[in-house]
Homo-oligomer: A and B are copies of this chain.
């Protein structure tokens, strides 16, 4: 059997460890053969691939990114897209089945293709950890670790200058990274999309921390919006050219909080450093195990399923469980974190 592998969507620490796990187990245990499609669905649709013999995955588990490249191409777009064209391309290349490693959008596409008869299995990928079907996704641990180390650094600057420091971390729809990095670094306020919090409440937390002699530390997920208005000062930040500084929520929050609390406030947006580079040991192990387990999915012909972490075990669940099931931060986890605020 000849199996195609592809990685799709935003990159994530551990993608290469998944690929290594697949290839080593597939070759050693089951005698499978592998090709890697380049740049996600684009490579599948266009039949652009590379052979993946054992030596190609040598030493890659500690490399960030993906050796296959990635893109946000939709498998239904373009003249060669859609199930029939793709099946024809796979047939031509002698590819019997495809393993997709991707997020909700990728898995939704795979779900439709599977229903149309294609042989696809999947490994879920979301650095935001927002998939209900799995306890954790690979990459999340590395992102939390990078954010935690960065916030540890911000804290000493805050304390030396008696400033309020704001760290904006990833999380458009959910606040898992903010929650974990904020708890780990001892934030005095953690602002996440799931929680409606007013600016008055944020200011109160900040002032409360200051009153206890601390340099207030705010961790905000990029997707957070305040309950009510952010306030008139949010747009007032000026860059060094005297023009309004209108960055993300962190940059807009800083002048507003400063105006409300009277405490000098600075924001840092951690950005892309959270998703690249060497994966943590945790993510390498999880990713390797997921990669190995999805080979079983292929051998057992569990088309339309993906692997998932449940406790310490790897389970197989249907693609549909990945769809429309955003795993948000539950109230009791936020309540835990709030205990740290003061």
Residues of A at the B interface (CB closer than 8 Å) are 7, 10-11, 15, 20-21, 24-25, 28-29, 39, 54-55, 58-59, 61-66, 69-71, 135-136, 141, 144-150, 152-157, 159-162, 165, 180-181, 183-186, 212-214, 239-240, 243-248, 251, 266, 268-273, 275-278, 280-282, 284-285, 288-289, 292, 310-312, 336, 339-340, 342
- Pairs A–B under 8 Å by Cβ, sample size 30: A11-B156, A11-B161, A20-B186, A24-B339, A25-B339, A28-B342, A59-B155, A61-B186, A64-B157, A65-B159, A65-B160, A70-B160, A145-B282, A147-B281, A153-B275, A153-B277, A157-B276, A180-B285, A183-B285, A184-B285, A243-B246, A244-B246, A245-B246, A245-B247, A246-B246, A266-B272, A269-B269, A270-B273, A280-B280, A292-B339
Closest B residue by C-beta to A179: B285
Nearest CB in chain B: distance from A316 CB, A: 15
A247 in complex: contacting residue of B70, B155, B247, CB < 8 Å: B247
A144 surroundings in chain B (CB, below 8 A): 281-282, 285
Closest to A7 in B: B160
- Also in contact, A336 and B28, with CB within 8 A (given A157-B276, A245-B247, A281-B184): no
When all copies of this chain in the complex are counted, the total is 4
Q: A328 → chain B, closest Cβ, in Å? A: 13
Q: How far is the CA of A336 from the CA of B10 in the complex (A)?
A: 28
Does the CB pair A162–B69 fall under 8 Å?
A: yes
* 7 tightest A-B CB contacts, nearest first: A153-B277, A64-B156, A65-B156, A65-B160, A148-B281, A153-B276, A184-B284
Partner of A65 from the list B149, B157, B212, B277 (CB cut-off 8 Å) is: B157
Q: In the assembly, what is the distance between CA of A11 and CA of B289, in Å? A: 30
- Closest chain B residue, CB of each to CB of A280: B145
A165 to B226, CA, bound (A): 31
A160 close to B339 (CB less than 8 A): no
Smallest CB separation, A69 vs chain B (Å):
6
CA distance A284 to B145 in the complex (A): 10
Task: Give the complex CA separation of A61 and B157 in angstroms.
Answer: 15
What are the residues of chain B within 8 A of A181 when measuring CB–CB?
281
Q: Are A156 and B63 in contact (CB under 8 A)?
A: yes
Chain B neighbourhood of A63, CB < 8 A: 156
CB distance from A67 to the nearest CB of B (A): 8
Cβ distance A334 to chain B, nearest Cβ, rounded Å: 13
